[in-house]
Homo-oligomer: A and B are copies of this chain.
Amino acid sequence: ADAEAGEAAAERQAQLTKPAGSLGRLEELALWLARWQGRPDPSMERPRVAVFAGNHGIAARGVSAYPAEVTAQMVANFIDGGAAVNQLSAWVGADLRIYEMALDQPTADFTQGPAMADDDCARAMAYGMMSVEEGFDAMALGEMGIANTTSAAALCLALFGGEARDWVGRGTGVDEAGLARKVEVVEAGLAANPEARDEPFEALRRLGGYELAAITGAVMACRLARIPVVLDGFTCTAAAAVLHRLDRHALDHCLVAHRSVEPGHARLLAALGKTPLLDLDMRLGEASGAVLALGLLQAACACHNGMKTFAEAGVSGKD
């Protein structure tokens, strides 16, 4: 991060016509963008939204309220402009890209062994990295993949410990029996992949999925390109958390958009030390929360760049 740009931005914030700190997190957001964009006047004119879609072998185990074919159907809906993320991206003026990851070839069922072969996982990460291009002010990340909250729960259990039930929730809306099956599948996944506890990338390969690996890769590439990242809900944050387990500063360029209803998300946010911007009882995924947060980032930039200083406006300071 560019400390000098951050300091210049902080100096400007202190002179704007408002009591110091009175715009709260909008002020923090402007300074955070300034540091990661390396400019004292942060910009949010060109945000990018990337949604990665993948299928999961464990979908066959009844862990979702929806059939696995919904992943491909929703990708078609994204491309056709009919999903929530399309409307939200249009609202915020973001460039939306959909990345479909071999939906006809789901990962292997991780209750029987690793979800992905070494080279498949590496390829998925590289695919995510390549989605990152120069010239964007921020990147909102999200995912689509029937059964992927179960994958995210297993990944979190491997990365952060606890019990399977700590990380499992209703996802798209499973009933009590579905919730019990999710717990069983997560436990079976860890039992079949004890190596997942040893090393974060091994956890991603064994328990994650193609769209999760792509998000992990995109988060890394954004760090290298100095592009601030907005993470979405539970599955997206879990994919990024792989990097946090390797280096606790690896997600300093990432903001978590919102607190998902999925109960594992609050626990994961605590583990990462991240306070989400929004708490609107959302649990849709597909970057929907992240794109909403892009709007708040725009508002933060508008205030930071457009407000007059006390001197410019001729407003008296504190008594």
Residues of chain B with a CB closer than 8 A to A90's CB: 302, 306
Q: Given contacts A316-B69, A318-B66, is CB(A80)–CB(B308) below 8 Å?
A: yes
Copies of this chain? 2
Q: Given contacts A19-B172, A66-B316, is CB(A282)–CB(B26) below 8 Å?
A: yes
Q: Is A11 an interface residue (CB 8 A)?
A: no
Residues of chain B with a CB closer than 8 A to A298's CB: 91
B88 with A299: CB separation less than 8 A: yes
Distance to closest chain B CB from A80 (angstroms): 7
Contact partner of A73 (CB less than 8 A), chosen from B295, B296, B315, B319, is B315
Q: Given contacts A19-B283, A70-B315, is CB(A308)–CB(B83) below 8 Å?
A: yes
Residues of chain B with a CB closer than 8 A to A313's CB: 73, 76-77, 80, 82-83
Q: How large is the interface on A (under 10, 10 to 19, 20 to 34, 35 or more residues)?
A: 35 or more
A316 with B80: CB separation less than 8 A: no
Distance to closest chain B CB from A78 (angstroms): 10
Q: Given contacts A66-B318, A315-B73, is CB(A280)–CB(B282) below 8 Å?
A: no
Interface positions, chain A 276-312, Cβ under 8 Å from B, are 277-284, 288, 292, 295-296, 298-299, 302-303, 305-308, 312
Q: Is A18 an interface residue (CB 8 A)?
A: yes
Q: Given contacts A17-B74, A17-B82, is CB(A284)–CB(B316) below 8 Å?
A: no
Distance to closest chain B CB from A83 (angstroms): 6
Give A285 to B296 CA distance when docked, in angstroms: 17
The CB with the most chain B CB atoms within 10 A, among A19, A70, A305, is that of A19
